Amino acid sequence: MRLEPIANPGLARSLGYPAIALLATIVIASLLAALAGANPLFTLGLIVKGAVGSKFALLETLNRATPLIFTGLAIAVAFRAKLWNIGAEAQLYAGAIVTVILGTSALSGLGGAALPIIALGAMVAGALILLGPVLLKTRFGVDEVVTTLLLNFIMLLLVSYLLEGPMKDPMGMGWPKSAPLDKALRLPRIATGLRLHWGFGLALLAAFLLWFVQVRTTLGYEMRAVGLNPQAARFAGIPVNRVLVKTALLSGGLAALAGFSEVAGLKGHLSLDLSPGFGYTGIIVAMLAVLHPLGVVVTAIFVAGIFVGADSMSRAAGVPTYIADMLLATALLLMVLAIGLTRFRVVRG
């Protein structure tokens, strides 16, 4: 048995296997709900209703999707160039730290005009966090999977130290959190009285700009070439190491925007529970979107809807929310298999 690449897979094959994967995911989720003692169709209906069944639910889904779009874009652009960035969580927290530092400094006197400066500072911090691993990869051949993954834990320990020391809010009643940002430095709400903020609009803009870079610029072409075949790209005169560094800076900056939007748009301060794993979930989002920037927006909303709907479902049906994690893991594995079957056929001999 061997895999034979398919030069031009037809529309039926390109859409059929992913559709089968989605249907199989729904079937497996139904079986899990049944094992938990709930009516499968009723449970799935509660997930949908909890995610998009009202204005509040829909806006909450979009709110949860905002950091996932940023981390999904960060993963997508890195993976496209075969740079395995597993450290989006660290880059997110780096962006959040700088957001708080700049947002509680003299910049607060500038009001809303300081927000672009703070966002840029957060991006620089996230970019620098990923610069180290990519330089170790290009100079010494160190596996970036290991270095970026370990940086996640290092960053969490750093945040814990800062929140118990230099950045601890003296008015926080002993809780490990930073001083809050001034209200003038908060991202405004899109809908009055609800939590959705303009970080979502920034995420949509970032997705469009990244798509433009990938399909309309020389850098985007070089990223794709390096990802497809670095040896051939180097033979064609493309500076592979320089492209990887540029990719790392862009990827780290995008992930850091997730930290900026969560602090400036939602929380208002830094805490250890700022991210419940947005950096890791971004990998699922990017893979389900087949690394397409605009597809990341759709899959981020889909994944966010599952989490928000699962919370509502758990309260209404008494089913554990861990079904959402199983649902996403199953969807990812089946979608990867579907994509493989779309691009390759199994032949004997």
Residues 23-81: tens digit of each pLDDT: 888 888 888 888 877 788 888 888 888 888 888 899 999 999 999 999 999 999 999 99
Q: What is the mean pLDDT of residues 107-128?
A: 89
On whether the pTM is more than 0.85, the answer is yes
Summarize the confidence of residues 137-152 as an average pLDDT. 95
pLDDT of 332 strictly over 90: no
Computed over every residue of the chain, the mean pLDDT equals 90
Q: Which amino acid does the sequence have at 172?
A: G
pLDDT of residue 106: 67
pLDDT number for residue 283: 94
Which span out of 56-60, 87-91, 305-309 was modeled with the highest average pLDDT?
Answer: 87-91
For 283-306, the pLDDT digits (tens) are 999 988 889 999 999 999 999 998
Distances (CA, A) of 80 to 73, 87, 230: 10, 16, 12
Question: Can you give the pLDDT at residue 82?
Answer: 94
Q: For 224-276, what is each residue's pLDDT tens digit? A: 999 999 999 999 999 999 999 999 999 999 999 999 999 999 999 999 999 99
Tell me: pLDDT of 170 over 80.
yes
Phi first, then psi, for residue 177 (nearest 5°) are -150, 160
**pLDDT tier at 194 (50, 70, 90 boundaries)?**
confident
R_g of the chain computed on alpha carbons: 21
| Confidence band of 92 (pLDDT split at 50, 70, 90) | very high
- CB neighbour list of residue 26: distance below 8 Å, 6 or more residues apart: 44
For the chain, give the secondary structure using H, E and C. Answer: CEEEECCCCCHHHHHHHHHHHHHHHHHHHHHHHHHCCCCHHHHHHHHHHHHHCCHHHHHHHHHHHHHHHHHHHHHHHHHHCCCCCCCHHHHHHHHHHHHHHHHCCHHHHHHHHHHHHHHHHHHHHHHHHHHHHHHHHHHHCCCHHHHHHHHHHHHHHHHHHHHHCCCECCCCCCCCEECCCCHHHCCCECCCCCCCECHHHHHHHHHHHHHHHHHHCHHHHHHHHHHHCHHHHHHCCCCHHHHHHHHHHHHHHHHHHHHHHHHHHHHCCCECCCCCCHHHHHHHHHHHCCCCHHHHHHHHHHHHHHHHHHHHHHHHHCCCCHHHHHHHHHHHHHHHHHHHHHHEEEECC
So what's the pLDDT on residue 234? 94
Q: What is the pLDDT of residue 322?
A: 77
Q: Which amino acid is at 86?
A: I
pLDDT given for residue 349 in this prediction: 61
